[in-house]
Structure 1
Amino acid sequence: MPGAATGGISCPCRFRVAALPPGGSRTPRSRCGPASPPTPTAPTSPAVVPASPEVVMRFESRHPLQPYWDLVGAPLQVQALEQALTLGLFDLLQAPTAPAQVAERLQLDRSASATWLELLWSMGLLTRHAPPQPSAAPEYGVSAVAARFFREASSENCTQAWLYRARLLGRFASQMESLLRDGHDPAADMAHTSAPAGSWAQAARMQIGQEQRHISVPAVLERLACLHALPDTGRLLDLGGGPGHVAIALAQRLAGWRGTVCDGPETAAVAQENIQRAGLDTRLDTLGCDLNQDGFGSGYDLVWCSSVLHFMKDPHALLRRICESLAPGGVALLAHAEVPDDPAVAAAVMPFYTSLKFRGNYLPAAGEVPAAMTLAGFEGVQALGRLAFPLAPVWLYLGRRPA
């Protein structure tokens, strides 16, 4: 390497070679093992040694463009996982299996299958094992995260939820150019993207249901445990509750409480199915309505509302109505995505909410929701931090109706 005789270099284990003194050598000292004895050198003419400190080269450096090169490769990763889920790869790999066997069972090309499995391994979805014979191909198994979330038999299976989100965002990405040029046309949006009858119910029953059961519910219960103890009895409202799994979990945790799940009529019907399946139909009921205009009751001691403000025509009006629906001293917990001031944190939000903003939906800035809650009549508004929700984090706020 140019300059190695007069500067300094570093290996990945951080050993350093200092500048050489005239007519001699300096033995590298490495953390990898003991130093070797010095090698004698014949006298030579004095070398020119720079006066600058030793130079340490870091071979693990990352180019500033690497994050954007990663974006170029991301569509391949999406397709690799989509094919794995569609073909049932993670259910097939019950034990480490060679690529040729995978190709045979799934009727795929052998060479392409080997590359596909290697890509999935690099994504942390597969494990790679040394072959039984030195000349054989490596075998692949299923990683812990894939077994947990992408196997049909798993109690936390999110396969359909992931496919639903991937395809939905993929369709939006293909519309980016026209949206930038022409903007959003609400009439065209209604004509081309309105949901067919029953599709909201199907999404609530399957894709959104998977996310709510396996991701949202654990996050809500974990944060609930950190709050001050709630009364032994009370009434709760799960506003925009979708398939009702959060309300079901709250009712199971708060054994003396009763409550209501409120959402659109199709979705509320799915929530009623889940409530009956959980054996809670004597304590929980449902209300199908349009949250933009219909009432949703009053006298609640606890209101849970997540990811609802984004879809309201007047989010501030809904906040006032939530406050009015509480009994005096009642508590509202609001969990929504927002755009923080830190771009690194915003990067975890914007890819998943850009489509909503393009369509004119509400995505609050940092601090906007608690300020709006105060204006809506809540007192003692508190920020309770972020929750790990499907796709992107949400920020949780607590407010009380004045006693």
Structure 2
Amino acid sequence: MRMDFQTEHPLQALWRLTAIPLQSQALAQALAHQLFAHLAQPASASTVAERLGLHPGACAIWLELLWSMDLLSRQQASDAADGSAGEALFCSSALAQRYFLEAAPDYCGQAWQYRQQALSGLAAQWPQWLAQGQVAMTAPPGSWAQAARVQIAQEQRAITVPAIQHLLAQLGPLPATGRLLDLGGGPGHIGIALAQQLPQWQGMVCDEPATAAVAAENIAQAGLAARMGAQGCDVQQQDYGQGYDLIWCSSVLHFLPDPAQAVRGMWEALNAGGLLLLAHAERPDDPAMAACVLPFYAGLVLRGHYLPRPGDMARHMAAGGFGQIRALGRLDFPMAPVWLHAGRKSA
């Protein structure tokens, strides 16, 4: 009888959970030591240890762990004298070179560290959340604007903007001219990408004043100041003006006290025939998909914010006056997927 040793034990997925902190720290240390720049060219563990002043044995298993995470490639060298296996050579993988080299256009090192620290802190607070239902949390003044300038900007450029560019290609033709609004746009890279794809359009990015100032800097750097601006606004108070032909709003309704009213305000801000695109994480009914979302949004729910259920966005849009409401599927966003919904204001 042939025995099958390939069957995975039911607990294996849960055992893997216990190893995640070790893997996370392996990457954190790689970023701290700028390892991926040091391994732009292949090098052995002993060479890396000497170069970085690390313990050779610990460095060797560290590099193997990063190799197992697809952040390094490994090639086995051979001893020229007798043909036996020599010390392995490690090199930064394509994944690491794209996202974790500081000089790379898609660098996300600081963004990853920002998320890792936030989620590690939340995990440590679970006993207090479960016992008391609340944890005292205060963000220093200007922290959101600083995150928009650095970490969120990295994610928008590397991950969100390519998703938006792909989306526009799927939406079909838009009018040759018009006005667009990136509502709650953070550092503004989504609005900038939209304006670059719609060269005859005027545009606006709206967020809290300090963050809008960051967006204004990015707009100027992109050479779009002549037809695009940024202004401080309160989305719930609908003080972002009217007369738009396209509104993009992603990951904003989570933080508003009345999401349905906010969607109605977007309807009022659109011209007749205008298009609203809403992109937000949702609480899926499928457990496998929920596992892709809830670990990243549990903290948001614990703090009393809104994580919509399937169907919520379409209901908000219908109640707000929109027609031609469509669910356009999922987009790959930082951390977790978002669900995209489109609706039009009748002409």
TM-score (norm 2): 0.97
- The counterpart of 1:199, out of the listed 143, 148, 153, is 143
**Structure with the greater alpha carbon radius of gyration:** 1
Distance 1:372 1:102 in 2: 56
More helix per residue: 2
What do residues 131-158 of structure 1 show as CA deviations (whole Å, max 9, x unaligned)?
A: 2423532111111111111111211111
Match of 1:170 in 2: 120
The alpha-carbon deviation at position 340 of structure 1 amounts to 1.2
Q: How does 1:2-401 map to 2 (within 5 A)?
A: 8-9=1-2, 57-133=3-79, 134-184=84-134, 188-189=136-137, 193-194=138-139, 196-401=140-345
The alpha-carbon deviation at position 199 of structure 1 amounts to 2.3
**Equivalent residue letter for 1:147:** Q
Q: Secondary structure at the match of 2:229?
A: strand
Match of 1:3 in 2: none
Q: Secondary structure at the match of 2:274?
A: strand
Q: Secondary structure at the match of 1:329?
A: strand
Distance 1:109 1:319 in 2: 57
Q: In structure 2, list runs of 5 or more residues that go unmatched.
A: none
The alpha-carbon deviation at position 96 of structure 1 amounts to 1.2
Aligned length: 343
Q: Percent of aligned positions with the same letter in both sequences?
A: 55
| Residues 236 and 262 in structure 2, CA contact (< 8 A), matched pair in contact too | yes
The alpha-carbon deviation at position 397 of structure 1 amounts to 0.3
Distance 1:341 1:103 in 2: 48
Q: In structure 1, list runs of 5 or more residues that go unmatched.
A: 1-7, 10-56
Moved >3 Å (runs of 4+): none
| Residues 234 and 240 in structure 2, CA contact (< 8 A), matched pair in contact too | no
Match of 1:37 in 2: none
Distance 1:130 1:213 in 2: 36
Q: Secondary structure at the match of 2:171?
A: coil
The structure showing larger relative contact order (alpha-carbon pairs under 8 Å, at least 6 residues apart) is 2
**Equivalent residue letter for 1:172:** L
Distance 1:170 1:285 in 2: 37
Match of 1:30 in 2: none
The alpha-carbon deviation at position 228 of structure 1 amounts to 2.3
What do residues 271-293 of structure 1 show as CA deviations (whole Å, max 9, x unaligned)?
A: 00000011100100111022232
| Residues 238 and 262 in structure 2, CA contact (< 8 A), matched pair in contact too | no
